[in-house]
Amino acid sequence: MQVSTERFGPVEINPEEIYDFPLGIIGFPEYHKYGIHRDPKLAPFMWLQSLEEPRLCFFVVEPFSLFPDYEIEVKLDGVLRRDIGDPENLIVLNICTIAADFRDSTANLLAPLIVNKVRQVGYQVVMEESAYTTRHRLFSPAPDAPAEAREAGDVEKANAG
């Protein structure tokens, strides 16, 4: 399916990677349809493009490639439990913030997007009582970085990076 985007112009999105977010994404509750736009040069990162608003696009990553010890614990009830379904059908995405210096970019590990790839439905969930943050460094600071930068990376999660 071809989609018009502000950032990339027309892009091709695989219909199997179009997802409905019935509750929207935090900050954007009015937009529900998103598709994955992949650029092999950016792997493991990809774009989650709104199909309703050409200007709305999120830089996302499947977290386990960068954070192998990342654990998700959420309480699901009712519709969410039904829609999320079998864990074998799930993918997890985290929204990233791109910094001017890409090495300072972060991921929101506190509020992952949980997507059932078979039902093509997803929800952003906020983990309660979690040590994760909304601005978890994607990369460990360089050894010669200022002490406060190294400490910021350590505080968020010691096993990251």
SS3 104: helix
pLDDT of the chain, 161 residues: tens digit per residue: 999 999 899 999 999 999 999 999 999 999 999 999 999 999 999 999 999 999 999 999 999 999 999 998 877 666 666 777 777 889 999 999 999 999 999 999 999 999 999 999 999 999 988 999 999 999 887 666 555 554 444 433 333 33
Q: How far is CA 14 from CA 43, 138, 148, in A?
A: 17, 27, 43
The alpha carbon torsion through 148, 149, 151, 156 (nearest 10 deg) reads 130
Which domains, from first to last, does the chain contain? 2-155 (2.30.290.10)
pTM of the model: 0.82
Whether 120 and 19 have beta carbons less than 8 Å apart is answered as yes
